[in-house]
């Protein structure tokens, strides 16, 4: 059966191996771990209340045996002690050690992202690809749309990263950078809308038939049903 060693006692085990001549040279981490040894538990150090209670009970029994005094016990002292401990534990509930929880991970982009999508909730309804190229950390933003990018690739995340770049490299405040990024974003969206409208008008002029939307199909079905019921009456 292999020997199992607790991780908190690893430095002591290495010390025994060096004394026994198994290790000729100490590991690099050994001096640091010996100077700053880990705690007894990785989660929480246990309270040694049971040892103190046992010591007190043993001392009381020793005193009774030395004096040889016969005492008639009318009530159960164990119940009284447990009640006192429960009352004291309830009264000192605010002094208990809190459970260890990880610290919240917060990035500066989170607040900017919440502000943008709070002001532009319909941007969340735009379809996006699940696989998208990541924005480099050291990207130099000349404008919201790069030279090799299409305006349709601009999303809310692009606005957030562009705002962060203006705040870090252009010495703009959060409000100024947000205004500059949003103005360029509005121009891009307006340009996309105009291009889509012009393309649709050109297609209709050349004889293309525009497909009806689901709302128009539903309205047409409703209109035919109304006419059928009117003629039946």
120 lies in the same domain as 200: yes
- Which position has the higher pLDDT, 130 or 77? 130
Number of domains in the chain: 2
113 lies in the same domain as 35: no
Say yes or no to pLDDT of 49 above 70: no
Any domain includes 54:
no
- Which position has the higher pLDDT, 59 or 36? 36
Any domain includes 25:
yes
Average pLDDT in the 53-78 region?
47
> Residue 85: its pLDDT value, please?
60
Of the candidates 197, 190, 202, 117, the one whose C-alpha atom is nearest the C-alpha of residue 160 is: 117
Contact yes or no for 156/116 (Cβ under 8 A):
yes
Tokens representing residue 169 in the block: 């490299």
pLDDT band at residue 122, thresholds of 50, 70 and 90?
Answer: very high
pLDDT band at residue 52, thresholds of 50, 70 and 90?
Answer: very low
Q: Which domain holds residue 119?
A: 108-205
- Which position has the higher pLDDT, 53 or 13? 13
Give the global pTM.
0.51
Say yes or no to pLDDT of 108 above 80: yes
Mean pLDDT of the chain: 78
Any domain includes 226:
no
Rg for the chain (alpha carbons), in Å?
Answer: 38
> Residue 174: its pLDDT value, please?
93
- Which position has the higher pLDDT, 57 or 105? 105
Any domain includes 214:
no
Say yes or no to pLDDT of 64 above 50: no
- Give percent of the chain above pLDDT 90: 29
Residue 232 burial (10 A CB sphere; 0-12, 13-18, 19+) = exposed
pLDDT band at residue 127, thresholds of 50, 70 and 90?
Answer: confident
H-run or E-run covering 179: helix 174-205
Average pLDDT in the 162-172 region?
92
Any domain includes 90:
no
26 lies in the same domain as 115: no
> Residue 75: its pLDDT value, please?
47
- Terminal C-alpha separation, the chain: 93
Highest mean pLDDT: which range of 13-17, 40-44, 51-55:
13-17
Distances (CA, A) of 165 to 107, 134, 169, 179: 15, 16, 6, 13
114 lies in the same domain as 199: yes
Any domain includes 120:
yes
- Which position has the higher pLDDT, 211 or 95? 211
35 lies in the same domain as 112: no
Any domain includes 170:
yes
200 lies in the same domain as 115: yes
Average pLDDT in the 188-201 region?
92
> Residue 37: its pLDDT value, please?
81
Any domain includes 53:
no
Distances (CA, A) of 82 to 17, 51, 93, 206: 47, 16, 16, 93
């Amino acid at each position: 059966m292999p020997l199992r060693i607790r991780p908190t006692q690893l430095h002591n085990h290495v010390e025994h191996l060096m004394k026994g001549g198994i290790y000729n040279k100490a590991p690099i981490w050994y001096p640091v771990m010996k100077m700053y040894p880990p705690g007894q538990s990785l989660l929480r150090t246990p309270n040694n209340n049971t040892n103190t209670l046992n010591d007190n009970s043993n001392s009381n029994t020793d005193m009774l045996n030395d004096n040889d005094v016969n005492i008639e016990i009318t009530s159960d002292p164990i119940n009284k002690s447990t009640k006192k401990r429960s009352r004291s534990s309830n009264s000192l509930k605010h002094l208990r050690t809190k459970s260890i929880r990880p610290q919240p991970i917060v990035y500066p982009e989170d607040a900017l992202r919440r502000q943008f999508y709070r002001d532009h909730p319909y941007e969340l309804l735009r379809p996006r690809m699940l696989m998208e190229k990541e924005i480099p950390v050291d990207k130099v933003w000349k404008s919201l749309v790069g030279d090799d990018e299409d305006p349709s690739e601009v999303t809310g995340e692009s606005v957030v990263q562009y705002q962060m770049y203006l705040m870090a490299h252009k010495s703009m405040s959060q409000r100024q950078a947000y205004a500059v990024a949003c103005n360029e974003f509005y121009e891009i969206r307006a340009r996309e809308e105009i291009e889509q409208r012009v393309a649709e008008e050109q297609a209709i002029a050349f004889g293309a038939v525009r497909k009806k939307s689901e709302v128009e199909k539903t309205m047409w079905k409703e209109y035919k049903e109304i006419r059928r019921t009117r003629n039946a009456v």
